[in-house]
Amino acid sequence: MTVSIRRETPQRASIAAVLEHAWDAGTFRADDIMDRTGLTRSTTISGIDSLIELGLVRELANARTEHGYRTGRPARRFELCADAGMVVGMDAGRAHVTTILADLRGHRLATTSFETDLDADADQRRRDLTESLDATLRAVDAPRSELLSVCVGVPAPVDADGRSPSHRDGFWPKSNPELLTHITPWAPIVQLSNDASLAALAEGTEGAAQDSDNYVALLSGARFGMGVVIDGHLLHGRHGGVGETVVFGRIEGVDDPDGLGQTIARWARQELAAGRIGPEHPLAQLPPALVTAQHVLQLAHEGDSASRELTARAAAMLSRITGMIGSFYDPEIVVVSGAVSAGIHDVVAAARSTLAEELDLPAPRLIASTLGAEVVAIGAVAAAVAAARDGVLALTPERTFAR
């Protein structure tokens, strides 16, 4: 049997409806789909059988014992073949490349993280991404041919064609040296996205904003970036630049778009260099280049007065930035995301206490993310799964997934 689903036919629509249910469900029966979709039994069974032939759905063993059947034929049971292919979500960041390999439901199979350097040439940038992908596949002994969908996040605006605009210091082209062209051979479905947008997707799918249609994910590590979801829609803009933060440098008390992590570390180094933090202090025992925001945040949490002064400055800055975000976008929630979020709770709490003074609208809820340093890669996996759901049927009948 050959199933043609390239044209928008009733058959294609019914198969798509069945697949949509299968992707969301665990074990299901034909009656479950009929109740949800209104499809007839014959159409539902035909759609299920087509997906079985394609290798996207499997029939499970007889359910007589499990469901206590004593007479008559037990209902047929099915499930999505989550192992019919794999997806990759990649955070191609400033100093690292983190790659998560997952099945078609987004369940993680392997993760790798490698250091990278954006000051390297474009060829090295591309090699770093390729090496990260291949190392992650090797972790589960899987070939690239198993990949169905890939999403890569970069710290730059990305337009609908996968391009980033020019930048005054060349940073955006360094982040995205025509990467969409480079990753296209990796899988049938590929996409490139801004990292903060993927952080927003992560927060909305499994993070702090799961129940909200109006929120901003504020990446806050090396530099600030915003992923903006308004009325349930992730905003992009003509060049993919919604959420770019150069304007932060025009805010009194903020001065530049360096993120909380980098800013706190820089302030600490300045205090050490000026002698305002004494030589016996724990921070002075570290080489200046190794002083991080995490060190300061932990000491502040333990009650160190010098560190608390720095975190109080950070809280004032965060409150002012959040007030600007609230005035621009009127979100319900602002989530402080990224690696720095693991130790930022005290700063967030202090910023929250003064936030109402920063805007006339009701203040958004300011909260710290629970997704940590992998938030962009987690969002990239979610984007790759969503793209697989939307695009897998267009790949057949040339590609089937039966094993």
State mean pLDDT over 211-226: 94
pLDDT tens-digit series, residues 256-283: 778 999 999 999 999 999 999 999 999 9
Q: Is the pLDDT of residue 207 over 80?
A: yes
Question: What percent of the chain shows pLDDT beyond 70?
Answer: 92
Confidence class of residue 21 from pLDDT cuts 50, 70 and 90? very high
At residue 238, the pLDDT reads: 94
pLDDT confidence of residue 169: 80
Q: What is the mean pLDDT of residues 204-221?
A: 96
CATH 1.10.10.10 positions along the chain are 10-80
pLDDT at residue 72 in the model: 56
Please answer whether residues 189 and 391 qualify as being in contact, where contact means their C-beta atoms are separated by less than 8 angstroms. yes
Residue 402 has pLDDT above 80, yes or no: no
Average the pLDDT over each of 58-67, 253-262, 301-310 and give the range with the smallest value.
58-67
The distance of Cα 161 from the centroid of its chain, to the nearest Å, equals: 20
Instruction: Read off the pLDDT of residues 329-362 as tens digits, 9 standing for 90 and up.
Output: 999 999 999 999 999 999 999 999 999 999 999 9
Fold of 86-204+377-395: Nucleotidyltransferase; domain 5 (3.30.420)
Rg (CA), the chain: 24
Quick check: 114 and 96 in contact, CB under 8 A?
yes
pLDDT value of position 262: 92
The span from the CA of 12 to the CA of 223, in Å, is: 45
Asked whether the predicted pLDDT for residue 104 surpasses 80, the reply is yes
- Token look-up 């929120």 returns 215
Q: Are 34 and 41 in contact (CB under 8 A)?
A: yes
What's the mean pLDDT in 91-100? 95
Place of tokens 């975000």: 325
Q: What does the pLDDT look like over 149-203, one tens digit per residue?
A: 999 999 999 999 999 998 888 889 999 999 999 999 999 999 999 999 999 999 9
User: For domain 208-370, which architecture applies?
Assistant: 2-Layer Sandwich (3.30)
Q: Specify the range with the lowest mean pLDDT, choosing from 52-66, 84-98, 270-284, 345-359.
A: 52-66
pLDDT tens for residues 376-388?
Answer: 999 999 999 999 9
Residue 228 has pLDDT above 90, yes or no: yes
According to the model, what pLDDT value does residue 7 have? 43
Residue range 119-142, pLDDT digits in tens: 889 999 999 999 999 999 999 999
CA 365, chain centre distance (Å): 21
- For the domain bounded by 10-80, which CATH number is listed? 1.10.10.10
Confidence band (pLDDT; 50, 70, 90) for 4?
A: very low
CA distance 11 to 246: 50
Residues of each domain in the chain carrying CATH 3.30.420.40: 86-204+377-395, 208-370
